[in-house]
Amino acid sequence: MDSAATVFLPDLDPEEVRARVAWAKKRGLPRWLWPDIEPQHWRAALSQIARALTHILTDAPGVVRLDGDPRVLSLAAYTSGTGPLLGYFIERGKLLATPPVSSMLAVHLLHNRKRMELLREEAIAATRLLADNGIVAIVPKGMHTAFQYFPEPGCRPISDIDLIVKPEELARAEGIFRAHGYAGKVLSQVPYQCDWTRAGGRTAPHSLLHVHEDDPWSVDLQTTIDRHLRNVGIVPLDRFVSRDRLAVWPLSDTARVLTQPLLLVMLAAHASQHLINLSLGRIVELALVARADQASGALDWDAFIRMAREIGPRYLYPALFACEKLVPGTIASAALKVCEADAPVEMRRLLAKRDVALLQPIDHHSFAERYMWFGGWWNRLRRIVREIDPGPADRTPRKALAVYLNRIRAARHTFAK
C-alpha cells in the first residue's frame, strides 16, 4: 500500500468497527458509521464523483478532475461503490486528481483487483461443487456483470457471491456446502437467503473507507430472482427464467447467467427496490450493461418494454430514471416513459428533485422515501396504520383510529389517577 495512503485509509480493529455500529444504532442512523466526517461534506464529495462519472461515461470533451479531502472522497467512493472504477479511470488518464486523492483511489483499485481474483476462484469452486452434484446455479448479478461489462473485474466491488438454485434443490445444495466446510447463516426466510462462509474467516471489515482485499465474503444462496418489496408486493421475475433466457457463465460452464432483456430488468428491479440500493455504482452498472448490449444488438428495447409491462413498469422506474439522469442517452425514451407513467406521482416528484448522487439515504431517514411506493395520502395512511398495529386483516384506518382514540382515553384516565 502507498505509504501516503495509509494516513487516509488506516485499518480498523474489529472492536472499533463494532463500536461504530453500536454508536450508529444508538443515534437512530444505523448506516452512518463515521463520527469524524460531516455528512454534508460526504454529500458534496458524492456530487463531485457523480459529475466526474457523467463526464467520462458520456465521452464529454476534456478531462475532469477530483479534488478535496482524501478521507471524505474515499468515504464517498466506498459507500457509492465507485472507488475501484475511479482508480481505474485515473490509471488510464480519463480522470485527473490531486496526488493524495490519486494515491487513495489507487488503493481502492489495488485491493479490489486482488479481492476479485480471490472471489473468482471461490465462485468457480462453489458452482463446481454444485454442478458435480447435478445442480446448475444461476449467477445473477455482480460475478457476471463484473467480468462481462466493466472495464475489468476489479472495477466492481462485490461483498457476496450470489447463487440461485431451484427451491427443490435447496436442501441438497446446503448439504453440499455443509459437507465441504461452509457454515450457513439464514438471513431471510421470505425470500429465502442464506450466507455460507468458510470457517475461521474474518467477520468484520478491515476498513470503513475502502473495500479491503481480505474483507469478509460469503456465498449468498437464494432460490428466486423475484424481488420482494416489503409491504408492497413481489416483482415476478422467476416466470421468465427458461433455457432460452439463460447462457453459460463466462467464467465457467458450471453455472448460467441471465440474458437480455431479463438481465437488465432484474438489475433495474433490484436497484429500485429501496433507495438504499440506488448507489452510484449500481447506476453505473445499469448504464454499462444497457449500452454494451444495445450496441451489440443483444438488448431489444421493445422486448424490454413487454417484459416490464408484465411485471409492473413502476418497479423499474427509480433505477431507469437515475441511470438516464447520470448517463443521458442510455435508456430508451419509450422504455422510460412506460415506467414513468406507471410510477406513483409522489415517487416521481421525489426522484426529480433529488441529486442523482444523493438518492442513497445512508445519512438520514425520510418519510417520502419510506413510502414512495404508495400513491396518495390515503394509501400511505393505510400503510402507516398497518405498521403501527397490524391488527386484523380487515381493519380499516377508521376502525384503527377508533382503537387508538380509545387507548388514548384509557391512558389519560390511568395517568390521572
User: What local confidence, expressed as pLDDT, does residue 28 receive?
Assistant: 87
pLDDT at position 367, please?
72
* Of 44, 66, 45, the residue nearest 55 (C-alpha): 66
Mean pLDDT over the full length of the chain: 90
Q: Give the lowest-confidence range in 61-65, 125-129, 133-137, 393-397.
A: 393-397
Average pLDDT over residues 205-228: 95
Q: Please give the pLDDT value at position 11.
A: 86
Residue 401: pLDDT over 80: no
Alpha carbons 258 and 238: distance in angstroms, whole number: 11
Grid coordinates representing 114 are: 486482488
- Please name which of 161, 143, 163, 166 lies closest in space to residue 153, comparing C-alpha atoms: 143
Over residues 378-388, the mean pLDDT reads: 62
Backbone angles phi, psi at 42, to 5 degrees: -60, -45
Q: Side chain identity at 349, as an amino acid letter? A: R
pLDDT band at 253 (very low <50, low <70, confident <90, very high): very high
Location of C-alpha cell 453455472: 255
Percent of the chain with pLDDT over 70: 88
Q: Where are the alpha helices (DSSP H) in 273-396?
A: 280-296, 301-311, 317-326, 333-342, 345-353, 367-370, 377-388
Given this model, what pLDDT does residue 416 score? 40
pTM: 0.89
Structure confidence at residue 413 (pLDDT): 38
Report the DSSP pairing between strands 64-66 and 95-97.
Answer: parallel
Rg (CA), the chain: 23
C-alpha cell at 116: 476479485
Whole-number pLDDT of residue 412: 44
Distance of CA 390 to the CA centre of its chain: 29
Confidence of residue 411 (pLDDT cuts 50, 70, 90): very low
User: Helices 39-57 and 70-80, interaxial angle, to 10°?
Assistant: 70
Q: What whole-number distance in Å separates Cα of residue 65 and Cα of residue 79?
A: 20
CA 82 from centroid of its chain's CA atoms? 12
Residue 406 pLDDT grade (very low, low, confident, very high; cuts 50, 70, 90): low
Q: Is the dihedral of CA 219, 223, 226, 227 positive or negative?
A: negative
Q: How far apart are CA 404 and CA 38, in angstroms?
A: 40
Q: Kindly write down the DSSP assignment for every residue of 93-130, as one continuous string.
A: TSEEE-HHHHHHHHHHHHHHHHHHHHHHHHHHHHHHHH
